[in-house]
């Protein structure tokens, strides 16, 4: 007859492993779902495509001045870090954080703050919408 004292710890370990695996799967599923929800909301809010943003950050030089989340090499120190942008109340301290204001700021920052160090890059409104979508999705 098997020794119950030996089998019980094995059973506890198996149950604990199953619970841990289940919780891990739940967390991953919820994280993916949250990310998809944030992305869909960002697209609806801005009319932009956040998937186009990484290439645009490089093309327009944004990553040279700003630290941008999840963008390799975007570790600039001249401008403010753009991590958690969607949670901010103001854009550059001068505009309410709304998608239309963000797009307008990206296209022509000196219109709103003539002394800003952020240059007019010549970015189009369509590309600015893609960048805005990225910020609201991350």
Q: pLDDT under 50 in the chain at which residues?
A: 23, 25-26, 29-32
Q: What is the pTM of this model?
A: 0.74
Q: In Å, what is the CA distance from 28 to each residue of 25, 31, 99?
A: 5, 5, 29
For residue 22, what is the domain's CATH number?
1.10.760.10
Q: Which domain holds residue 130?
A: 4-137
Total domains in the chain come to: 1
Residue 100 corresponds to which tokens in the numbers above?
């239309």
Distance CA 76, CA 83 (A): 12
């Amino acid at each position: 007859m098997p020794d119950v004292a030996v089998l019980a710890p094995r059973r506890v370990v198996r149950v604990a492993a199953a619970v841990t695996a289940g919780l891990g799967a739940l967390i991953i599923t919820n994280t993916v779902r949250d990310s998809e929800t944030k992305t869909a909301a960002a697209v609806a809010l801005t009319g932009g495509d956040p998937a186009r943003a990484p290439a645009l950050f490089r093309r327009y030089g944004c990553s040279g001045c700003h630290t941008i989340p999840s963008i390799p090499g975007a570790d600039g120190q001249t401008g403010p870090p753009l991590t958690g942008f969607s949670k901010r109340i103001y854009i550059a301290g001068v505009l309410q954080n709304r998608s239309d204001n963000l797009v307008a700021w990206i296209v022509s920052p000196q219109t709103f703050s003539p002394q800003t160090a952020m240059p007019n890059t010549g970015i189009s409104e369509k590309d600015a919408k893609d960048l805005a979508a990225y910020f609201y999705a991350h």
